[in-house]
Structure 1
């Protein structure tokens, strides 16, 4: 893809493209390992499709960067960050759950990048990525449904008529008679529960194989946080006679040989935590009950602290690649 009439990339476009490159280079490493280890033909097919998408994205992103004379991000390398000969760490079911979560995260990221894109080639790129992520999500859903692995959101009774809020008790949470959850609150609780069950399984697996003691400790800390959050969401759902999600920790096998570098592991879980912050912010903004708002505020603080700890460890090990930054003209003037 070539620049159009020498139109420069905006900061938002650079940010979206750079982040996409980092994510896809990581995905290639992870998916190559999954493809090597997946035994189920249906799941292998979806993994292969996802891998092809990530590889195609890297080619297109590289062309855009080269057209701008922009340095190609270092990202993650197959010869440095993955060992496809390592024993199988996760079950096939985890592979397909992973793709469901990752395609959902991709849709969120691509939609934001698309909304901020102004140059037609960049707009076209993210638009195509949106369509591909939708297709990937559809494929993962179909496999999950066909194998009886899909965990659906709770069903609720269909309302008979329109209602308007008449009392401020609608906001009550800690004291007084609490109202039932709204469907939007249920949706947020369920989504956050599912993401934390996935995160818990990932922390267990990564903590089992990470080489550095510091990285292992961070995985154990993440496991503890995810477990706590699962308890919170499950309790609120059960209090409203709604089912909570099943656990996925049995999807981790007994290997202690790491298929991934500690750099990849650390970057990966930090990315998941950063993504969770966005989901929690949305949940906080759309929850009217005060007890739910308090839960989300406390959870946000915990996850923010976790991302700070992960970032510090990345920096200490020289693993944090600096995103493109704005030129400091004051600093330049003083040199």
Structure 2
């Protein structure tokens, strides 16, 4: 579609491009650090593919912002936020697990970005990013399956027929007997368990190499919260005699040498928290059993408090880069 007038980026498009730039700049730093220590050639090929996607995204977003005369975010840079000579912090298997989960997060992010975009070139860009995220996820999943490190969601017996809810007790769960989990609830529990496993290992490694004691303590706290949530979600499945995926686990190395800047690790931690909050909210909406709904509310409250403390640390250190925001019309209308 060709128009005779210039179509400016709207707020939703700017928001998605700004957030994408921040996330890809973190991705470039993190993945480049991983690649410098990778020994497995198959895993290395997946990481290199992910790195090339992030680098291409950054160049495209810079070009878009420059065309619109919009300031490019500072984001993160390898020369400032990665210590290239630092020893290995994470294993090959964890690096692959990390990339596979970043592919999942990318799919969700770009789906939302595309659904809110209007300008044709931006729609095409996010469609391309969405397809690339799917390719990355599939590549990583394929290698995990080949290496036997992919933990599948639980299997259930095939039901003999379709059924309809007959009683209000379908939503019960606080007292006495309650129904077994349905597949939607199992799927969400499984996803949240896996994401917390990722967060637990990532924050465990980060806590070993943080420079500031305050940051170190914050990351340890996040590690412990993630570990507790893994146990909670695992127990929900175990009570139904379903496998809990807790068999997947790989620890960081014992390195305590600074690997990433505290700023990058804090941004990474808070980004995972935001993703966790979003998934808990979605799980809450899709879980009719009242005990599950109450659980998601409680867990969300816990990580909301944790997120606020993280934001305060970033503000105190001047690390929290502010997204573009609307004009303050009241201030503009007040006497100068």
TM range (shorter): over 0.9
Distance 1:151 1:80 in 2: 36
In structure 1, runs of 5+ residues without a counterpart are none
Give 3-state SS (helix, strand or coil) of 1:37's partner.
Answer: coil
Distance 2:283 2:36 in 1: 37
1:103 corresponds in structure 2 to: 103
1:181 corresponds in structure 2 to: 181
Correspondence 1:117-132 to 2 at 5 A: 117-132=117-132
1:26 corresponds in structure 2 to: 26
1:52 corresponds in structure 2 to: 52
Distance 1:147 1:5 in 2: 54
8 Å CA contact 2:193, 2:233 repeated in 1: yes
8 Å CA contact 1:207, 1:220 repeated in 2: yes
Distance 2:220 2:251 in 1: 17
State the TM-score, normalizing by the size of structure 1: 0.98
Distance 1:248 1:306 in 2: 25
State the TM-score, normalizing by the size of structure 2: 0.97
1:208 corresponds in structure 2 to: 208
Give 3-state SS (helix, strand or coil) of 1:250's partner.
Answer: coil
8 Å CA contact 2:33, 2:84 repeated in 1: yes
Distance 1:246 1:291 in 2: 22
Distance 1:236 1:272 in 2: 22
Correspondence 1:1-335 to 2 at 5 A: 5-246=5-246, 250-334=250-334, 335=336
Give 3-state SS (helix, strand or coil) of 1:14's partner.
Answer: helix
In structure 2, runs of 5+ residues without a counterpart are none
1:259 shift after superposition: 1.2
8 Å CA contact 1:204, 1:249 repeated in 2: no
1:169 shift after superposition: 0.9
8 Å CA contact 2:25, 2:58 repeated in 1: yes
Count of aligned pairs = 334
Distance 2:198 2:306 in 1: 17
CA offset digits 1:271-315 (Å, max 9, x no partner): 000011110000000001111111100000011111111110000
